[in-house]
């Protein structure tokens, strides 16, 4: 774009000189005369374009948040800058960027912003055509029509980029404000009155049943619960989300009956990391304790896994997660010898399947694709290494608790 006039003046770029270069130079001079005329009539063009914008766009009507004098100033600045860019063959984009910024700040839709540039382009083109026909230079205008519309596109694209930058910044500020409101509820610092205001601002019901959800952030940066907020909203469940200490935290408001079942099934299908869910609560002041519950429930999902766990549905796992120091001592005291054995993985899997099969060696063998005698041999090996027989209830309880502690520790 910056070298368009140089190309016309030199020729076609392939060594053409003489008559071709002379014709190109003539086209350049005629085009500059036409474009210079735009600068001279910028005020008239501005009035005409503003009239079309106001008449054709509801966003700029009588109740518009953008005052007419601001609109007129933006349009005039852009028409003048566009005319100068066409004369110079290079664009300075301060004017369209300012237009995109101002219109975004005043809440004018993006579509209206771009439509205004189309209206301005058509008005400019109409003036150029009228003057070129009157001056018998229409063919010269056609030769540079691509540059004219290309420059208009350059301006509208710059305005759109500036608009998006403002909207993105506004979204970030809004999200930060929402996060602060939600955090005041989660940490219990909000009074009952302030908590009610926060719930209203977050789009959550002030009364009803609430749930706290905690999801581990993905190591890759991917969304831990992709599409969850939209899915819940479609089901009539409001939610507000923030990030806190390595977890994605959500407060859910269940205004309708059956909300619990919807949340559980939705979380189960959406989770890409470990997710914990608190017990339902009806007093928003209980949110801090619910957050603790949700985070403990996260620990009840095996490390490296993905899925949702509701607080209290596995009491033994919850106890082990709540007391990690004692859980580690339990592992060492009960399974210490086994964990050091070279066949530890096979023995742990056998013990796990044996418990899942309710102590049936035949079913355990089928689950492990081995003979029941192999299962009996491994159980005897477990007894040898731990000093505990899986067939004795008290000793089996210790083995089972130690096994769960081992799995929850990621071993």
- Secondary structure of residue 175 in the 3-state scheme: helix
For residue 217, the 8-state DSSP code is P
Specify the pLDDT at position 261.
86
| Residue-by-residue pLDDT tens, the chain, 411 positions | 444 444 444 444 444 444 555 767 788 788 888 889 888 889 999 999 999 988 877 667 655 678 889 999 999 999 999 999 999 888 899 999 999 999 999 989 999 999 999 999 999 999 999 988 988 888 888 988 898 999 999 999 999 999 999 998 888 888 888 889 999 999 999 888 889 899 999 999 988 899 999 999 988 878 899 999 899 988 889 999 998 888 999 999 987 667 888 898 899 899 999 999 999 999 999 999 999 999 999 999 999 999 999 999 999 999 999 999 999 999 999 999 999 999 999 999 999 999 999 999 999 999 999 999 999 999 999 999 999 999 999 999 999 999 999 999 998
> According to the model, what pLDDT value does residue 296 have?
96
Pinpoint the residues of the chain covered by CATH 3.30.70.120: 206-313
The yes/no answer on whether domain 322-409 falls in CATH 3.20.20.140 is no
What is the average pLDDT value for the chain, to the nearest integer? 89
β-pairing verdict for 307-310 and 274-277: parallel
**Domain 206-313 has what CATH class?**
alpha beta
The residues near 229 (Cβ < 8 Å, ≥ 6 apart) are 239, 241, 250
Residue-by-residue DSSP string for 339-390: HTSTTHHHHHHHHHHHHHTTT-HHHHHHHHTS-HHHHHHHHHHHHHHHS--T
Q: CATH 1.10.490: which residues of the chain?
A: 23-170
One CATH from 1.10.1060, 1.10.490, 3.30.1330, 1.20.1530 for 23-170 = 1.10.490
**Burial class of residue 247 in the structure, from the number of CB atoms within 10 Å of its CB (0-12 exposed, 13-18 middle, 19+ buried):** buried
Query: pTM of the entire structure?
Result: 0.66
List CB contacts of 75: < 8 A, sequence separation 6 or more.
46, 49, 50, 53, 116, 120
- Give the separation between CA 140 and CA 152, rounded to whole angstroms: 19
Pinpoint the residues of the chain covered by CATH 1.10.10.2840.
322-409
Cα gap 232→239, rounded to integer Å: 8
């Amino acid at each position: 774009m910056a070298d368009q006039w140089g190309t016309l003046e030199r020729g076609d770029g392939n060594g053409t000189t003489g008559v071709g270069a002379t014709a190109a130079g003539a086209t350049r001079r005629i085009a500059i005369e036409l474009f210079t005329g735009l600068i001279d009539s910028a005020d008239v063009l501005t009035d005409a374009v503003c009239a079309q914008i106001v008449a054709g766009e509801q966003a700029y009507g009588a109740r518009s948040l953008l005052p007419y004098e601001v609109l007129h100033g933006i349009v005039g600045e852009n028409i003048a800058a566009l005319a100068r860019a066409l004369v110079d063959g290079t664009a300075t984009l301060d004017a369209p960027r300012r237009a995109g910024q101002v219109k975004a700040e005043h809440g004018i839709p993006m579509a209206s912003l771009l439509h205004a540039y189309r209206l301005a382009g058509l008005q400019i083109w109409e003036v150029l055509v009228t003057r070129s026909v009157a001056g018998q230079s229409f063919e010269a205008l056609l030769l540079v029509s691509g540059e004219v519309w290309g420059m208009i596109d350059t301006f509208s694209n710059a305005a759109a980029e500036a608009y998006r930058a403002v909207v993105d910044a506004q979204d970030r500020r809004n999200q930060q404000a929402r996060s602060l409101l939600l955090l005041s509820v989660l940490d219990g610092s909000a009074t009952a009155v302030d908590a009610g205001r926060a719930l209203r601002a977050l789009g959550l019901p002030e009364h009803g049943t609430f749930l706290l959800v905690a999801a581990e952030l993905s190591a890759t940066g991917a969304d831990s619960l992709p599409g969850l907020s939209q899915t819940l909203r479609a089901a009539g469940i409001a939610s507000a989300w923030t990030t806190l200490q390595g977890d994605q935290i959500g407060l859910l408001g269940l205004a309708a009956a059956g909300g619990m079942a919807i949340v559980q099934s939705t979380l189960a299908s959406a989770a890409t990391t470990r997710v914990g869910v608190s017990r339902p609560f009806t007093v928003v002041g209980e949110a801090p304790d619910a957050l603790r519950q949700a985070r403990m429930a996260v620990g009840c999902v095996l490390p490296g896994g993905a899925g949702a766990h509701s607080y209290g549905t596995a009491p033994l796992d919850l106890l082990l997660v709540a007391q990690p120091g004692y859980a580690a001592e339990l592992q060492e005291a009960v399974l210490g010898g086994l964990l050091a054995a070279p066949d530890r993985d096979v023995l742990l899997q056998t013990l796990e399947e044996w418990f899942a099969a309710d102590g049936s060696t035949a079913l355990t063998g089928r689950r492990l694709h081995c003979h029941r005698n192999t299962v009996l041999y491994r159980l005897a090996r477990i007894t040898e290494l731990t000093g505990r027989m899986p067939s004795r209830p008290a000793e089996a309880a210790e083995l089972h608790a130690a096994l769960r502690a081992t799995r929850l520790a990621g071993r």
